[in-house]
Amino acid sequence: MADQENLKQHFAQRVIHQAREVLEVWQQLQRNEWSDAYRNALSDANQRLRRFAERFGQTEHRQLALSIEECLGDIRDNRGRLSSDTIATLSQLVYRLARTGLRHGDPRGHSSYVPPLSKPVYIALDNHERALHVVRQLEFFSMAAQAFADDHEFLAAMHQRHPAAIVMDVDFNGTGEGLRMVERIQQGLEDKLPIIFFSHNDTDTPMRLAAVRAGGLDFFTGSLDASSLLERIEIFTRTAHYEPFRVLIIDDSRAQATHTERVLNNAGIITRTLNEPIQAINHLAEFQPDLIILDMYMPDCMGTELAKVIRQHERYVSVPIIYLSAEDDLDKQLDAMNEGGDDFLTKPIKPSHLIATVRTRAERARHLKARIVRDSLTGLYNHTHSLQLLEDASTRARRDGQSLCFAMIDIDHFKQVNDTYGHPMGDRVIKSLALFLKQRLRKTDHIGRYGGEEFAVVLPDTSAADAFKVLDEIRQRFAEIRFPAQPVDLTCTFSCGITELSMAADTKTLTQQADEALYRAKKGGRNRVERFDAVT
């Protein structure tokens, strides 16, 4: 029986290896442009995935591979061009491929889960116990890691196998030795390794400058928590799900708009084109672009006038606006940028120049928005933005005739955790639940920190029964986490209230209903999920 199980796991690993190859090829699109060679590479990797999945009976992977194959067929039918629809569909399929099985069971025991990295992360800290603790936490969240007691162990491991990333204490094996060790390692490498430095004490600018010169991509001080570390490692190793940029093109010339659209689609960027600028605000709310490309001269509305209107809406103050115009008078360009614009590109423009500008501006805008709308402790959406997302999702659900659920989660006996173990432990519990929810919910679900130890979850296209099943399973798994503490390890639970959208319910009503269901869960003994019932 054990041999049969081992054989099954071996087959599953073959499928997982092929799934990871598909993911890696897809992620290259964010740095390159679509080409026949790229399409062939993705097609070949996907065909191997389908063959392995069929041979080893992995139904979910086979179905996803078939869907990806269908998308690639649509691209061939479109004369090899990407469209916004195919980019969005491929992105979702790749995300589902990366997260297969997460909504049905614990990834540690689910054979169809694709681990985020093919290589482990090396943890080299001056405090070995701290390093071992970080390893345990990362492994719980399905990221393989290895800790080292001294430089001999670390260098021996480096000689045998390079890691996916290194977390290095600047004082590992002696004052400043971690920095010097990384410098020596990086010198002999053609492809530099992602390095995250750590120092138990606050550091000065010269120390951080030395870390940057040694190849450091980030620098943690004081403490290391798994959730923040995991997030940075996923970004630096490109295993975080890449959500394609979204660009709204506003140009009265259909020919120019179509050209811009094709150039950006070719780089994996989702676009929407408007030839009637008066419709812009409605489309902004629905499309939620990362960036706007705006023609300067249009018959019904000047680009500079529309930029002013857009900036009057608080939600769009930070969305970059790039003017794309034949205007070559520098003074007029500067005047236009003073009227709400962030950049000015002159037609005709090289496709590579346009793509690079859009990617750079959109990436910075995303980082800025993340700081504005996200909670600093957990990285989840803050209270205000969570309610805005609930309102947007409710509008879409009513328009499309789809179901929608809203859930509120509260950590049980949290005050007792703070009083007994201290606020740092309370913060650790909150961050762990945040990461737990992010890993086990879909990309299309919105997770927010509602306040204190309370969380809000928006689940589009989800019935109350499905929401209950998913959140109840997360509740059970979260209760299994053990937080190292004295005299005994700490375990925590949460209670949850769920409500489903009705045609008459507004955002305020949904939050009140979810809160009422949460109250019943607390009153009913905690560590449970309750659904709102208007009858009771």
- Residue 36 sits in a domain of what CATH number? 1.20.120.160
Residue that finishes a domain, picked among 203, 236, 269 = 236
Q: To which H or E segment does residue 20 belong?
A: helix 2-27
428 in any annotated domain: yes
Say which CATH number the domain at 133 has. Answer: 3.40.50.2300
Distant-in-sequence, close-in-space partners of 177: CB < 8 Å, separation ≥ 6: 151, 171
377 in any annotated domain: no
d(CA 256, CA 321): 17
d(CA 133, CA 125): 11
What is the pTM assigned to this prediction?
A: 0.70
d(CA 74, CA 82): 9
Q: Is the same domain home to 295 and 262?
A: yes
Q: At what angle do helices 303-311 and 280-287 cross, to 10 degrees?
A: 50
What pLDDT score does 362 carry? 92
Distant-in-sequence, close-in-space partners of 178: CB < 8 Å, separation ≥ 6: 124, 126, 168, 169, 170, 171, 172, 197
d(CA 445, CA 21): 26
Q: Is the same domain home to 252 and 365?
A: yes
39 in any annotated domain: yes
319 in any annotated domain: yes
Q: Is the same domain home to 361 and 401?
A: no
- CB-side neighbour CA atoms (13 Å) of 325: 23
Residue that finishes a domain, picked among 193, 213, 236 = 236
Q: Is the same domain home to 293 and 259?
A: yes
116 in any annotated domain: no
What stretches of 312-347 show up as alpha helix (H) in DSSP? 330-338
Q: Is the same domain home to 232 and 301?
A: no
Q: Is the same domain home to 83 and 143?
A: no
- State the residue range of the domain holding 61: 2-109
Say which CATH number the domain at 474 has. Answer: 3.30.70.270
Residue that finishes a domain, picked among 321, 343, 372 = 372
Going from the first residue of the chain to its last (536 residues), give the mean pLDDT of each consecutive group of 10, the final group possibly shorter. 53 74 78 82 91 85 92 88 89 78 36 55 92 82 85 92 91 90 86 89 86 89 76 71 85 90 92 88 87 88 87 86 86 83 88 92 86 84 92 88 94 93 90 86 88 94 93 91 81 95 83 95 94 74
Q: Is the same domain home to 396 and 444?
A: yes
77 in any annotated domain: yes
Q: Is the same domain home to 187 and 94?
A: no
Distant-in-sequence, close-in-space partners of 43: CB < 8 Å, separation ≥ 6: 69, 72
115 in any annotated domain: no
Q: Is the same domain home to 333 and 406?
A: no
- Give strand pairing partners of 406: 458, 499
Domain count, the chain: 4
Q: Is the same domain home to 193 and 272?
A: no
| Helix-then-strand count for the chain, H and E | 19, 15
Q: Is the same domain home to 86 and 146?
A: no
Q: Is the same domain home to 406 and 509?
A: yes
351 in any annotated domain: yes
